[in-house]
Amino acid sequence: MLSLKADIWRWSVLIPALLLAMPVLVVFGSVLSPDIEVWRHLRQTVLADYITNSLLLAFGTGAGALLIGTGTAWLVSQYQFIGRRVLQWLLLLPLAMPAYIIAYTYTGMFDFAGPLQSALRNYFGWRYGDYWFPEIRSLTGAILMLSLVLYPYVYMLARTAFREQSSSMLEASRTLGFSPRQHFWKVALPLARPALLTGVALAMMEAFADYGTVQYFGIATFTTGIFRTWFGMGSQGGAAQLAALLSSFVLVLLVLEQWSRRKIRYFYQGQRQQVSALRSLPVARQLLVALLCLLPVLLGFVIPASQLASWALPNWQQLFAADFVRLIWNSFSLAAMAAILSVMLALLFAYASRLRRDPFVRLPVRMAALGYAIPGTVIAIGVMIPLAWLDRNIDLLAEQWFDIRTGLLLSGTLFALLLAYSTRFLAVSLHSVEAGLERIKPSMDNAARSLGASPLQVLRRVHIPLLRGSVLTALMLVFVDVLKELPATLILRPFNFNTLAVRTYELASDERLADAALPALAIVCVSIIPVILLSRTLDASRGS
């Protein structure tokens, strides 16, 4: 009985996990036929650049996101200050801003030829070379841009973690003679470490996979190198070798994250304890804290969104064109479907890992979640190749046996798109759900069972209420990510099917940034809706 059950869990994980890992495996498969000559060329010329730049970008972004995310999360979860209620959800808004869009807007503003520097030159009568101005299109600029839109991952998880630290913890550290500062460094921060690391890992994976920003800024990284090698030099083997090396960095990162979490298992402190009361501050310091929290919102959302709005203003009538409404609907429905699918898969995998702690479950799940750090185009082609292979063979068989042509059954359908999204974004939903599940102590299950609850009742009355926040977070994160996603959508979509991201890309790729502003702004606006909904739900669940 028991062994049969174990097998059901194993198989129910193995099959979908392999399906999701397939695109990554297909790309890796070409490592088996390496392009030695191209690899030698890369090693002699540009590989060192790729490695240095990618690592600097990922670690820089991780550090930036950690700093902004943890700092703001600590302030809104501990202190009472003017505007705190609004700020705590405003701080999520930069999530809605695609990285390449924020890069375009800041370049538009701060570039040498942009309005700010031109005004400075006019005013002071300077010329090129007469003065120093930070160069936005540089590695530092890219790190800044990515940190500004990725810090909400850390913020969201950190805020929850800080909130759940009970007041008895604070009291205990007070009686031990810790000052509030010491409490933060010695108690609160170490306790929140798993949540912070998860957020940082997500931000770093996204930085590794970024293509739009680095390409625009002219920074040679693994992602730009993969495209150059694959298409420019026509060497799929060489590109796969680059992708494999990139993924091995990410694997190391993920193993480190898992390892740091495993050292200590953090569970909920039994029943909900008294949540620590917010500390009050003098008015002057309240203003200072509010300003500090407002800064990332301004830089990561308000300023770029205003720039977009000012570019989009002359074209606002297009908003009401029939095809624009269609674009919004396509984007919205696709993102909603992908979010639901991805969260259902994450729940399956997370529960399987919880109930069966063996490598046959864990390994496939980790493999399936690798896709987040792989550039979308690589995933898309990894989806395309096996599906087309399947189509080809079904078609051949059907022709042989029944003399009919089945053509393309899977390629170029929504199924292909959803498979790509699930592969790419599983890591996001899985991390959120796992983080939620980890806080439900196994002893709680046992307690409920000993009180006579059936497994289903445990699920309904213990797990679902406790998981609600994490599941909603996962839904929202995937929704927003899919809405912003471009490369896989572009290449896998069916005929005559456009989304907001596709329209934005078409105009931006032609360097018509002002025309691209309207669809870009629409992406941002559609993304805000779930961000606000989520934030309200999280607040409500806290109050209850």
Partner 1 sequence: MRIKPILLVIAALSSALLSAGAVFASEVNIYSARQEELIKPLLDNFSRDTGIKVNLITGKPDELISRLVSEGRNSPADLLISTDVGRLYRAKTQGVLQSISSDALSSAIPAALRDPAGHWYGLTMRARPIMYVPGKVNPAELSSYADLTNPKWRGRICVRSSDNIYNQSMVAAMIAQQGVAVTEQWVRGFVANFARPPRGGDRDQISAAAAGVCDIAIANTYYLGGMLADPALRATAEKVKVFWPDQAGNGVHINISGAGVATHAPNKANAVRLLEYMVTAQAQAWYAEANHEYPVRAGVAASELLQGLGEFSADKLALDKLGELNGEAIRLMDRAGWR
**Which spans of this chain sit near partner 1 (rule: CB under 8 A)?**
41-42, 45-46, 49, 107, 111-113, 117-118, 127-128, 137, 215-218, 220, 224, 227-228, 230-235, 329-330, 333-334, 336-337, 340, 377, 380-381, 384-385, 388-389, 391-392, 395, 407-408, 411-412, 414, 460, 464, 487, 490-491, 493-498, 502, 506-507, 509-512, 514
CB distance 72 to 91 below 8 Å: yes
CB distance 143 to 61 below 8 Å: yes
The DSSP element (H or E) to which 150 belongs, if any, is helix 139-164
Residue 171 structure tokens:
């009291």
Shortest distance, CB of residue 31 to partner 1, whole angstroms? 18
Structure letter (DSSP) for residue 165: S
Q: Which of 76, 334 has the CB closer to partner 1?
A: 334
Place of tokens 């070379």: 129
Contacts for 537 with CB less than 8 Å, ≥ 6 apart: 468, 469, 472
* Positive or negative: CA dihedral 209, 215, 221, 225: positive
Q: How far is it, in rounded angstroms, from Cα 480 to Cα 329? A: 14
CB distance 326 to 503 below 8 Å: no
Q: How far is it, in rounded angstroms, from Cα 130 to Cα 121? A: 9
* Positive or negative: CA dihedral 249, 340, 520, 526: negative
Alpha helices per DSSP H over 298-413: 303-312, 322-355, 359-368, 376-402
CB distance 143 to 64 below 8 Å: yes
Q: How far is it, in rounded angstroms, from Cα 113 to Cα 251? A: 41
- Measure Cα distances from 306 to 89, 302, 517 in Å: 19, 6, 10
Note the maximum CA span of the chain.
84
Partner residues linked to 166 by β-bridges: 275
Partner residues linked to 3 by β-bridges: none
What three-state secondary structure class fits 251? Answer: helix
Look at residues 137, 128, 260, 131 and name the one whose alpha carbon lies nearest to residue 194.
260
Look at residues 256, 261, 230, 56 and name the one whose alpha carbon lies nearest to residue 147.
56
* Positive or negative: CA dihedral 143, 149, 151, 154: negative
What three-state secondary structure class fits 280? Answer: strand
* Positive or negative: CA dihedral 14, 18, 21, 24: positive
* Positive or negative: CA dihedral 70, 96, 332, 375: negative
Shortest distance, CB of residue 228 to partner 1, whole angstroms? 6
Look at residues 408, 417, 418 and name the one whose alpha carbon lies nearest to residue 388.
408
